[in-house]
A and B are shown apart, each in its own frame.
Chain A
Amino acid sequence: MKTKRGQGPEKGTGNVSRRDFLRGAGVAVSGTLLVGESMAEPAEASGQARGPGEVPVTLRINGEARQLDLEPRVTLLDALRDRLGITGAKKVCDRATCGACTVLLDDEPVYACTVLAIEAEGHNVTTIEHFSKGGQLHPVMKAFVDHDAQQCGFCTPGFVMASIAFLKNHPNPSLEEVEKGLGGNLCRCGTYHGIRLAVLEAAKTMTAQDEGGSIHG
């Protein structure tokens, strides 16, 4: 396998030109956008503690609002799996170590086992189910199949989600970037060889599709 040169550092949020930068001189310049502001935060009177018993929680999952009564201690992963029957995300370490539970929260990859469901209120939760709606495989999924980047498959949904998130930030990654970028997921069967090939290939097909104007994900 050859190492391809990447695109340099991860896309900066600011990426200001020198002129922009000078314009900002003197005043405090925020280099980031706040996430999740586009959606209404829960209207709860602030400071009011909720629980420890069940409280109503509204989750927005794959674009759909779902109402649940949950104890504050219920994790997003348990809410998805046990309450909503959305089981693509898996529970393995339950301690933010293996990535099997990866979902997107406002488009950022997170370990759903270590997010409280109640904390996901007011944010967009995207699970793997979203990316194969109508039976169509996402290019990353297809590449996983083609490169046999799966054996038992238990880590696979987490890896697919991590790969989708990674490619969003690194549309044209080098092999080394792929390897390090997916360092937060674990597989026991040993499918990493296929995974790195699959992600490199998916990057190519997705870039081609983008250039062709079609939308993925």
Chain B
Amino acid sequence: MERFEYASPVSRKEAVGLLAETWGETEILAGGTDVLSRMKDYVSTPKRLVSLKRIKDLKGVHYAPGHGLRIGSMATLREIKVNTYVQRYYPALVDTANLIRSQQLHSMGTIGGSLLQRPRCWYYRLGYGLLAQYEGKSLPPEGDNRYHAILGNSGPAYFTSPSTFAPILIALEARVELLGPSGSRTIPLEKLFTTPTKTGEREHTLHPNEIVTEILVPPAGGIRSAVHEIRQKEGLDWALTAAAVALHMKDNTVRSARVVLGQVAPVPWDSQEAAHALVGKTLSEQVAEAAGKAAVSEATPLSMNGYKVQLTRVAVKRAVLQAAKGGA
């Protein structure tokens, strides 16, 4: 890790003021479970680290009927998982936290960090840049791409969005509140993510001197939601693929649906095709199967990751069936 100066502001505004206007100069420190590892690998070398830990009003999980859930960006995964209201109204979020099999990460990792963590693409982490370039060539297509993207991978970005929380929160129509020097803005969570098209661009739309302050999840009454991830190991491991679904039901019929995939594209992948396959249908094994097929209908696997197409199909199917059972 290179040397850096450390700042720990106590207010949101102060934090924003400590951030540089360009990427690379400063980094935000939340739980640190991603950023510190990147710094140890010299993938990130900020001159200043701005810790958000002492900003009290970024913590906590709040619920208000009619308004829904307000999660401070610095709320830890454990805070979310043990929160009574989350347990009662958003059980899929508890399941999501439990997919990350580490009590240590539960107490360290924050929801903001989970959304804004950087990809785990091994070329990126070995220092070949987010777009994994080597001697003018893109590494993933010809290299080892077993864990890379199968959707949205027409290049030059081949990494996958790593967040376990982003897909389910997007499916639940969450919004994020951002604070920058010129004030705050609230955007749908999916708008926080973007696929970079050239070197220097990031996979987030956050500005270098903005912070995520809150995640707002609308009331979930009448929604059936579920997550299903496929992980090779039962212990702490990265998912090979992930699916989150939220179904608005009318009696037994799906009125509207959102199916969001993780670990398959450079952004959380909002699958219109899968949603379309569900709307107006009564849930059944066949319908779930069809949604899974639809989710991967546009997939363009690379040389080594064709299996992820099948896994994704199954993850969607299972998530839908789980949601159908009333959600877990």
Contact = CB atoms under 8 A, between A and B. Distances in A.
B103 A165 contact: yes
Contacts of B36: 75, 96, 114, 116
Contact of A162 (B2, B47, B104, B108): B104
Contact of A46 (B14, B29, B33, B104): B14
Q: Which of A30, A162, A179 has the most CB of B within 10 A?
A: A30
B135 interface: no
Given A34-B60, A110-B108, A116-B6, A10 B236 contact: no
A71 B53 CA distance: 18
Contacts of A41: 54
A30 B5 contact: no
Contact of B235 (A16, A25, A116, A183): A183
A119 interface: yes
A49 interface: yes
B190 interface: no
B7 A99 contact: no
Nearest to B235: A183
B199 interface: no
A12 B84 contact: yes
A102 interface: yes
Nearest to B63: A29
B79 A110 contact: no
B100 to A, nearest CB: 9
B101 A50 contact: no
B83 A32 contact: yes
Contact of A183 (B14, B18, B49, B101): B101
B42 interface: no
Contact of B64 (A28, A42, A109): A28
A111 to B, nearest CB: 5
- For chain A, what secondary structure do more than half of its interface residues adopt (helix, strand, loop), or is it mixed? loop
A205 B54 CA distance: 38
A30 B84 contact: no
Interface residues of B, number: 59
Interface string B68-87: 00100001001101111111
Nearest to B86: A31
B1 interface: yes
A134 interface: no
A14 B49 contact: no
B18 A47 contact: yes
B185 interface: no
Contacts of B142: none
B108 A111 contact: yes
B234 interface: yes
Nearest to A16: B84
A10 B82 contact: yes
B105 A96 contact: yes
Interface in A1-50: 9-16, 21, 25-32, 34, 41-42, 44, 46-50
A72 B4 contact: yes
B62 A31 contact: yes
Given A46-B54, A49-B18, A114-B108, A162 B103 contact: yes
Interface in B1-35: 1-11, 14, 17-18, 29, 32-33
Interface of B: 1-11, 14, 17-18, 29, 32-33, 36-37, 39-40, 47-49, 51, 53-54, 56, 59-65, 67, 70, 75, 78-79, 81-87, 94, 98, 101-105, 107-108, 234-236
**Which 3 interchain pairs have the tightest Cβ spacing?**
A184-B102, A14-B84, A183-B101
24 contacts: A10-B81, A13-B84, A14-B84, A16-B84, A26-B65, A30-B62, A31-B60, A46-B10, A46-B54, A47-B18, A51-B4, A51-B6, A52-B47, A53-B3, A72-B6, A73-B1, A73-B39, A105-B107, A109-B103, A109-B104, A111-B104, A111-B105, A183-B102, A186-B235
Given A46-B14, A116-B32, A184-B102, 19 more contacts: A9-B87, A11-B82, A13-B84, A31-B79, A31-B86, A49-B18, A49-B48, A50-B5, A51-B5, A52-B3, A52-B47, A72-B49, A73-B3, A73-B39, A96-B104, A111-B108, A162-B103, A184-B104, A184-B105
